[in-house]
């Protein structure tokens, strides 16, 4: 088993498959200009999509979320 397998195994049943939380995602959004309906977000390594859902609820942007699993 390589390191990536351990990371995946550790996070696979978690609500979020990595660090952070909804509050941190919303705070990060405060540092960028408001995203209109023509904006695009690419969420690479989205895991379960927890942060993707926060982005969708707090922006008007089109979101593409991808993960290797």
Question: From first to last of its 69 residues, what are the pLDDT tens digits of the chain?
Answer: 788 788 777 767 776 766 788 999 999 999 999 999 999 999 998 888 999 999 999 999 999 999 987
The whole-angstrom separation of Cα 30 and Cα 68 is 28
Domain that includes residue 54, residue range? 3-66
Question: What's the token pair of residue 66?
Answer: 């991808």
Q: Which residues pair with 8 in a beta bridge?
A: none
Those residues with Cβ within 8 angstroms of residue 39's Cβ, 6 or more apart along the chain or in another chain: 59, 60, 61, 62
pTM of the shown model: 0.76
pLDDT for position 17: 67
pLDDT for position 58: 96
The whole-angstrom separation of Cα 65 and Cα 54 is 12
Q: How many domains does the chain have?
A: 1
């Amino acid at each position: 088993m390589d390191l990536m397998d351990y990371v995946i195994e550790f996070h696979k049943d978690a609500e979020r498959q990595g660090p952070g939380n909804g509050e941190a995602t919303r705070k990060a959004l405060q540092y960028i200009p408001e995203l209109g309906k023509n904006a695009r977000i690419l969420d690479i390594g989205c895991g379960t999509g927890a942060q993707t859902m926060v982005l969708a609820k707090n922006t008007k942007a089109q979101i593409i979320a991808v993960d290797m699993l």
